[in-house]
A = this chain, B = another copy of it.
Amino acid sequence: MTSRTGLQAPPPPVLDRCRELVEPALRAAVRTLHPWPRRMASFSLGWCDADGLPDAGSGNRGGKGVRQALAVLGAEAVGAPGEAAVAGAVAVELVHTFSLVHDDIMDGDERRRHRDSAWKAFGTGPAVLAGDALFALAVETLARAGGESGAEAVRHLSGALRELVHGQADDLLFENRPWTGPQAVDIPAYRAMALRKTGSLLGCAMAVGPVLAGASPLLSGALAEAGRQLGAAFQAVDDLLGIWGDPRSTGKPVHNDLHRKKKTLPVLAALASDTAAGRRLALLLDSDAPLDAADAFCAAGLVEEAGGRAFTLAEARRHVAAAHDCLDSVPLVPRAVEELQSLSEFLIDRRL
């Protein structure tokens, strides 16, 4: 998605700063894995190709490292050094990667970041193992952080994992629900799913640094809620990119989520709009087959005409504002809060 001015802001320098702080520990953790899951994990983190060789396109392969940056900034926001968050930052990046690997299996997604997804590259069974290895490594990393704060961080992470599984279960079940009628997925149900599926880990990312640094529950609770709101905003932007994202940026086909008839917020909002465009969209989606290119193009136009695109963008902005309100509600280090706010604005305008 391009920003509304047509220009894209450069990534804020905080992403590079946090990557430099966290990545050595992340790589050290992954190096301790058995060689086979290690290669699959390194591939999934964007560090190598499927043969374990350095990947020429690796600049596009890894994520932006948003979760590790949120963890470091969370610690700095409560006055702790960013170093205090490193074990937590490593853990949330590992859990994020685990969830991508397993979700791509569940969703049947063949592409991720401009190349094959892990199950497509290595096979389903090995990808299940790679995800399990990443999951176990995340828990081990935090558990070894030690002390009462380390134990509290493990409790936060395990709570996030419960929510993540719950959200993923809801999202998978949405696929079997009708597009219209009393059994259709409504906006509040979708919101609850997004807060769980995407919000839980971002909430954990922003709270884990403060928790490891021994901050008060008031502060870590406010940061956790800010992270959850940011996660819901990211999910909304992700839904926009799933329809209108530029394949050169997303690494996925144009109108991808429409071809797959995925129940995302722009579509659900359009269907709930009580407009002529929304009703035509329902007729188009109600057929049994996947949408072909012409139908998907038409559906994208109807979603936009019915207000689904504008609704979703407003939803994203509303969640970002809620996140900023959380940050303003407690006494935090202003410089870190500014960096968190500029990072969240960047992520809404130009995405991941």
Spell out A's residues near B (CB within 8 Å).
32-34, 36-37, 102, 105-108, 124-126, 128-129, 131-133, 135-137, 139-140, 143-144, 146-148, 150-151, 154-155, 157-159, 161-162, 164-166, 168-170, 172-173
A165 x B136 contact (CB < 8 A): yes
Among B106, B124, B147, B162, the residue within 8 A (CB) of A136 is: B162
Closest to A137 in B: B162
Say how far A47's CB is from chain B's closest CB, in angstroms: 19
Known: A132-B135, A151-B154, A161-B136. A166 touches B34 (CB 8 A): yes
Bound-state CA distance A146–B173 (Å) is: 34
Nearest B residue to A127 via CB reads B128
If the complex has contacts A135-B132, A143-B158, A158-B139, are A172 and B125 also in contact, measured as CB distance less than 8 A?
yes
Contacts of A161 in B (CB 8 A): 132, 136, 139-140
Determine if A151 and B143 form an interchain contact, defined as CB atoms under 8 angstroms apart: yes
Residues of chain B contacted by A155 (CB below 8 angstroms): 140, 143-144
Counting from the closest, the 5 A-B pairs by CB-CB distance are A106-B125, A151-B151, A140-B158, A136-B161, A34-B169
State which of B107, B126, B157, B170 has its C-beta within 8 Å of the C-beta of A125: B107
Chain A interface mostly: helix
- What are 9 of the A-B contact pairs (CB < 8 Å)? A37-B169, A106-B126, A124-B124, A132-B161, A136-B165, A140-B158, A140-B159, A143-B154, A146-B151
A232 CB to closest chain B CB (Å) equals 18
Point out the residues of chain B lying under 8 angstroms from A159, CB to CB: 140
Q: Assuming A128-B128, A129-B168, A136-B162, what are 16 further A-B pairs, CB within 8 angstroms?
A: A33-B165, A34-B165, A36-B169, A36-B172, A36-B173, A102-B129, A106-B125, A129-B165, A132-B135, A133-B165, A139-B139, A140-B158, A143-B151, A144-B155, A148-B151, A151-B154
The residue on B at minimum CB distance from A167 is B34
Separation of A73 and B102 alpha carbons in the complex (Å): 36
Using CB atoms, name the residue of chain B closest to A133: B165
A119 CB to closest chain B CB (Å) equals 10
With A132-B165, A135-B135 as contacts: A125 and B105 at CB distance below 8 Å? yes
Determine which residue in A126, A150, A159, A165 has the highest number of CB atoms from chain B within 10 A of its CB, and name it. A165
A126-B172 in contact (CB<8A)? yes
Q: How far is the CA of A140 from the CA of B135 in the complex (A)?
A: 13
Question: Given known contacts A34-B165, A169-B37, is B140 in contact with A125 (CB within 8 Å)?
Answer: no
